[in-house]
Amino acid sequence: MYRLTFLFRSCFLFFATLQTVAGFSQKKTIDQKIDSVLKLMTLDEKVGQMNQYSGPWAHTGPITEQGDFLQQVKGGKLGSLLNINGVQHTRELQQIAMQSRLKIPLLFGQDVIHGYRTTFPIPLAEAASWDLQAIELSARIAATEAAASGIHWTFAPMVDIARDPRWGRVMEGAGEDTYLGSQIAGARVRGFQGKGLGNIDAVMACAKHFAAYGAAIGGRDYNSVDMSERTLWEFYLPPFKAAADAGAATFMNSFNDLNGIPATANSYLQKDILKGKWKFKGFIVSDWGSVGEMVKHGYVKNNYEAALAAVLAGNDMDMESRAYRNHLAQLVKENKVPVAVVNEAVKRILKKKFELGLFDDPYKFSNAQREQQELNNPEHKKIARDISKKSIVLLKNENNLLPLSKNIKTIAVIGPLAKSKMEMLGFWSTGWPDSNYIVSQYEGLQNKLGTGAKLLYARGCGIEDSSRNGFDEAIAIAQQADVVIISVGEKRDMSGEAKSRSNIHLPGVQEELIKAIYSTGKPVVVLISAGRPLIFNWTADHVQSILYTWWLGDEAGNAIADVLFGDYNPSGKLPMTFPLTEGQLPIYYNHFNTGRPAENDRDRFYRSAYIDLSIHPKFPFGYGLSYTNFKYDNLKLSSATIKDGKTIDVSFTLTNTGKYSGEEVVQLYLRDEVASVVRPVKELKDFRKVFLQPGESKQVTFIINKEKLSFYNQKLQWITEPGKFDLMIGSSSDDIRLKQSFELNGN
C-alpha cells in the first residue's frame, strides 16, 4: 500500500512538473523557469539541446525519416534544426518534439540573408544605399515573412569586414569600412528582432562569423587569418560589438583560425571578449561542421577532442558536426568537461526559447493563414523596389546620357543578364522557384515604357561563354536602336560561400561583347549585376554610362528602370573599393601612410608603389554619381580646439546645383596626424544622406566627440591623444570637398 501511494505521488509530482514546464506560471522569472527545466533534464537531454542538424528532406517534400533523426527529436535530444521551411513542416516537427519527455520546443534556424519570400538586394548592395532606415526595413520585412513561415532564427547579419573582393562572401556583408559596417550591423539586428523576441514578427539575429573570417588570406574562403590584435580590435571587431549592443540574440563563430587558434575553440574571442568583456547573454552556435573541422585544421586529433576544445572555449551549440552529440556526455562523465559548462550553455539556449515564447506556445509561429498573408503581401515588393533603387551606383555618366528619355523610339537590350530572372536573386536567396515574382531587367523596361518604345533584344553571349556567335545578331539590333542597354555580370553562384575567384574581371566574353556593340557608335549604357566589385576597365574607360546594379532581388528590373529613366535619381555609393586589377588586392581606402608614400603614379622611385601598376583603385570607397550636382561650402567649426571632453560642431552648406532633385551621401573623414601608433590616412567617422530639390541648400552638422578621435594604443587601450586632426568632408573617400584641422587638447 505504502509503495503504491509513493508511486502515485511520484507520478503526480512528475506530471505536475511537466505541466509547469509547458504552461509555466507567469509569476516566475525566465531565469527561475529555466532553472526548473534544467533540474528535470538528464545529461543526454542537456547535450541534446546543444545540437543543431540540418533538415534531411526537400523543402517542398514530405518528412522522410532519416537515420535516428526523428527519434532524437522525439527523445528530446535535439535543440534546433536548420533548413526547415514553412508552417507545415515546422509544425509537424514541433509536434514530434512535443511527444518528448520534457516537451522542450525546437528552434528553427535558416539563412535569411537578404529576404525570405521577397528577395531584397544582397547585403553588399544594400550597404551601397548608405540608408540605415531602408536597410533596417528590409531586415524587418525579411523577419516578418520568415517568422510567419515558422522560422525563429536567421543566420544574419554577416558583419565581417572584407577588404578583398576575391573572397566570394563579400556579397553578404557591408563592405570594407568599420564605421559603415557597424552602423549597418546595428540596423540589421534591429530590423530582424523588431520590437523584441516574443513578438510574432521577430526572429533572432545571429551576428557572424566571429571573428575575422573576412580577412581570409588571399581572399580564399575558409582560409587562415593572421592579424595583429590592434587590427582585430580596431577594424574587425567593432561591427560585432555593434551587433551585440543592438541586442543580437546569437552569434556564430567561424571556420577560420585566428592567429593559429580556430575560432570555434577560441576562448579569447568567445569567452574573454564576447561573453566576458561585452557581457553577451545570448548563445554561440558553431558554423556548419566547424567543431569537427578542427580535426582537419590539425588542432585536435578527433571529434572527441574537438567537442572538448569547442565547449570549453564557449561554443554553446554544435551545428552539424555531431561532435557534441557523440562525445559531450562522455566528456562530462569523465570529468573533462564540468557539468556547469553544459548547464551554462543549455541555459543560454533555453533562455532564447523562453524569450521567443515557445514554451508558452510551441506553435506560435505556425499559423498557416498568417503565412499566406505575409508571403503574399504586395507592400513587401514595394519596399524591395525602394531599397533596390537606392542600392544602385552610378559609376559613369558622360555627357549626361542618363537619365534616358521615356520618348526614345527604339532601345536595343543586349546581354546575358537582360532577361535572366534567377540571376537577379543572387547567392543566399531562399530560392523560391516562382519566376513570376521576379522582375527581369527586360520586363522592368517593358513595365516602364509600355508600348511607347520598341524594345529589341539579343542575348549576345552567355555569362561565361567563350563563343562570340551571338555578337552579329546583337550588333544588328544595336544598329537599329537609338540607345543600347547592355546587361552583363556574374551568375548568381559566382559570388557567395566557397565562391572565391582569382580573376574578378567580367566573366567570359562579356567585355568583348561590349566592345563590339560600342563600335557601332550608338550610345551605350552598361548595367553590371554582380555580387562583388568586378574589374571592367575597358568598359569604364569607354562607354558613356555605367550603373552598378549588384544582385538586386525580385524587383531588380523595376528598380533599374526607375533609375534609367530618371524616376529615381541614383544615390548609391560604393561600400568597397573597386580595384584596377587583382594585383592590387587587398586594397582599401583606410590604409596607413607608410614612411615612403607615393604622391602619384609617377612617383615610384623607392616608394611604396608598384613599378608596373598604379596604386590607385578604379573606383574608390564611397564613390557614386548622381544626375544632379552638389556643392559643398561654408565649412564652420564651432571651435578650433576640443578640450575637457567637450564636442565641436562641424557644419557646412550643401546645395543641389543641378536640374534634378536627389540625395547626396556626405561623408566625414578624420585623420589623426601624429599618434603613438600609426594611424590610417583617413577614416570614415560619420555620414548623412541628404535630399535636396534643385537649387535647394541645407546646412549639415556633424558633431565631433572624443569617441570619433579614439583609437587602440599599443596596449590595446581605447584612448585619445592630444594633437592635430585633419577633418575632411566629401562626396567619396577620394573626392574631399572641404578640409580643415582642429586640435585636441588634453585626453
Is 210 an interacting residue with respect to ligand BGC (CB under 6 A)?
Answer: no
Question: How near is the Cβ of 288 to ligand BGC at its closest, in Å?
Answer: 4
* Minimal distance, residue 497 CB to ligand BGC, in Å: 6
Output the smallest distance, CB 179 to ligand BGC, in A. Answer: 24
Which C-beta is closer to ligand BGC: that of 217 or that of 476?
217
Beta bridge partners of 455: 411
Nearest approach, Cβ of residue 231 and ligand BGC (Å): 22
**Edge-first strand listing for the sheet containing 393-397:** 393-397, 545-548, 524-529, 483-489, 410-414, 454-458
Give first-to-last CA distance, the chain, whole Å.
80
155: contact with ligand BGC by CB under 6 A: yes
Q: Nearest to ligand BGC by Cβ — which residue?
A: 155
Total residues contacting ligand BGC by CB under 6 A comes to 7
Select 45 or 287, whichever has its Cβ closest to ligand BGC: 287
> Closest distance between ligand BGC and the C-beta of residue 7, in Å?
47
Among 513, 568, 580, 510, which Cα is nearest to 541's? 580
SS3 110: strand
Q: Does 293 bind ligand BGC (CB under 6 A)?
A: no
Per-residue interface string for the shown chain with ligand BGC, residues 158-197, x marking contact by CB under 6 A: ----------------------------------------
> Taking CB under 6 A as the criterion, which residues in 337-376 touch ligand BGC?
none
Select the residue interacting with ligand BGC from 234, 374, 497, 664 (CB under 6 A): 497
Nearer to ligand BGC, 257 or 287 (CB): 287
Return the residue of 160, 287, 511, 562 that touches ligand BGC, per CB under 6 A: 287
Q: Minimum Å distance from CB 630 to ligand BGC?
A: 38
In the complex with ligand BGC, which residue's Cβ is closer, 213 or 632?
A: 213
Residue 257 interacts with ligand BGC (CB under 6 A)? no
The amino acid at residue 704 is I
Place of cell 541645407: 698
Dihedrals φ, ψ of 556, to 5°? -50, -50
Site for ligand BGC in 58-87 (CB under 6 A): 82
Nearer to ligand BGC, 287 or 318 (CB): 287
User: Which residue has cell 508600348?
Assistant: 451
For ligand BGC, the closer CB: 283 or 742: 283
Which among 717, 597, 726 has a CA at the least distance from the CA of 650?
726
AA identity, residue 545: S
Alpha-carbon gap, residue 74 to 66, rounded angstroms: 13
Provide the residue type at 453 as one letter: A
Q: Which residue in the list 201, 257, 287, 672 is annotated as catalytic?
A: 287
- Asked if 234 touches ligand BGC (CB under 6 A), the answer is no
Q: Decide whether 33 or 169 has the Cβ nearer to ligand BGC.
A: 169
User: Grid coordinates standing for 185?
Assistant: 550591423
- Residue 208 lies near ligand BGC (rule: CB under 6 A): yes
Nearer to ligand BGC, 86 or 460 (CB): 86
Q: Is 737 in the site for ligand BGC (CB under 6 A)?
A: no
CB of residue 293 vs ligand BGC: minimum separation in angstroms? 10
In angstroms, the CA 373 to CA 147 distance is: 12
Q: How many CB atoms lie within 10 A of CB 176?
A: 28
Residue 251 interacting with ligand BGC (CB under 6 A)? no
> Rounded to an integer, what is the distance from CA 26 to the centroid of its chain?
37
Is 287 annotated as catalytic? yes
Cβ neighbourhood burial of 298 (10 Å; 0-12, 13-18, 19+) = exposed
**685/725 Cα distance (integer angstroms):** 13
Question: Does 288 help bind ligand BGC (rule: CB under 6 A)?
Answer: yes
State the nearest-atom distance from the C-beta of 222 to ligand BGC, in Å. 9
What DSSP letter does each residue of 313-350 carry, written as one string? TT--BEES--HHHHHHHHHHHTTSS-HHHHHHHHHHHH
Instruction: Write phi, then psi, for 485 (nearest 5 degrees).
Output: -110, 120
98-137: contacts with ligand BGC (CB under 6 A): 111
Is residue 318 part of the contact set for ligand BGC (CB under 6 A)?
A: no
Sheet harboring 648-656: ordered strands across?
630-637, 648-656, 697-704
**390-429 burial string, b = 16+ CB within 10 Å, else e?**
bbbbbbbbeeeebbbeeebeebbbbbbbbbbbebbbbbbb
Residues known to be catalytic:
287
Binding residues for ligand BGC, rule: CB under 6 A, are: 82, 111, 155, 208, 287-288, 497
